[in-house]
Amino acid sequence: MSAATAAAPQQETTFRDRSAWAEMWSAFTRNRAALAGLIILAVIVLIALFAPWIAPHDPTAQHLELRREGPSADAWFGRDEFGRDILSRLMYGARATLLAAAGAILLSGVVGTVIGILSAYQGKVVDSLFMRAMDIILAFPYFLLAILIVAVAGPSLRNAAIAIGITYIPQYARVVRGAALEIVGKEYIEAARASGVHGFLIAIRHVLPNVVAPITVITTVGLALAIVGVSSLSFLGLGAQPPSPEWGAMLAAGREYVTSAPHICIFPGLVILVTVLALNLVGDGFRDTFDPTMR
C-alpha cells in the first residue's frame, strides 16, 4: 500500500509532463506557417539522407558536351559549367551544408550552454570572467571573425563549421545565462544546495531542463544563420573545395554565368532561401509555443 502511494505522485508528474508536451505540440501544429516550415525542413533532411539512392546522376560526373545546358527531362535543374547535373549536386550538397551547419550549432550550443549555466550558477567572479570573454568575441563582426579563423586554420568545410560555431557561442551563452539566472535563485535550488547535492547534479537535474525552451528556439534560428554562414564562406572559397558539391560553392561557381546560364546559380540560391525560410518559420513557431503570452 505504501509503495503504491509513493509511486502515485511520480506517475502524476509524468502524466502532467506528457500533457504539457502534448499541449505544446498541439499549439505548434496550429501555427500553419511553422508546420509548413517543419514539413519543408523534413523533406530537405530526407533528401540529404537518401541522396545516394534518389539522386538521378553522379554529382561529380562531367559531360563537357552538355555544359551549361538548361533544364530538361534528363536534368530537371539543368547542368553546370562542367556538364554536371545540378539537381544531383544539390541533393548531395544538402548533406555537406546541413552537416556543417549542424556541427557548427552543436559546437556553439554545447560550449555556450555550459558557459551560460556556469556563469549563472558559480557566482560573480566566474560570471564576470566568462561574460567579458563573450564581449571580446562580440566586439568583432561575426563574419569577419569567421573569415579570420578559417584563414588561419586553412580553407575547408570542417574549419568553416568550426569558425561559424565559435562566432555563435556568445549568443548561446547570453541567452542561457539569462534563463538560468531566473532558476538559480529558486527555493528548490537553495534546498538542493543545503542538502549537499553536488553543483553538477543540480545544474543537470534542475537548471538545464528549465533552459531547454530558449535553447530550442535559438538553435532553430541559429541553424539558419549557420547555413548562411557556411554557404558564405564556401562562396568565398574558404569552405568546401571543388569538386565537392556544396550549396555556397555551387552558388559561387554560377556567378560567372548569371547572364548566359542563370540556372547554374538560381537553383542553389533558391535552395538556400527555402531552407533558411523554413528554419525561421519553425523557430518562430517554437518561440510562440514556448511563450504562453503568445498563445
Q: Which residues of the chain have pLDDT under 50?
A: 1-16, 293
Residue 186 lies in a domain: yes
pLDDT at 67 (0 to 100) = 87
Residue range 167-224, pLDDT digits in tens: 999 999 988 888 877 777 666 666 666 666 665 666 666 677 777 778 888 898 899 9
Whichever domain contains 121, its CATH number is 1.10.3720.10
**What is the total count of domains within the chain?**
1
Residue 79 lies in a domain: no
Residue range 18-32, pLDDT digits in tens: 565 677 677 777 888
Residue 4 lies in a domain: no
Residue 7 lies in a domain: no
pLDDT at 13 (0 to 100) = 41
Residue 177 lies in a domain: yes
* CB-CB neighbours of 28 under 10 Å: 17
CA angle 70–73–79, rounded 5-degree value: 35
Q: Tell me which residue range forms the domain holding 118.
A: 22-56+86-294
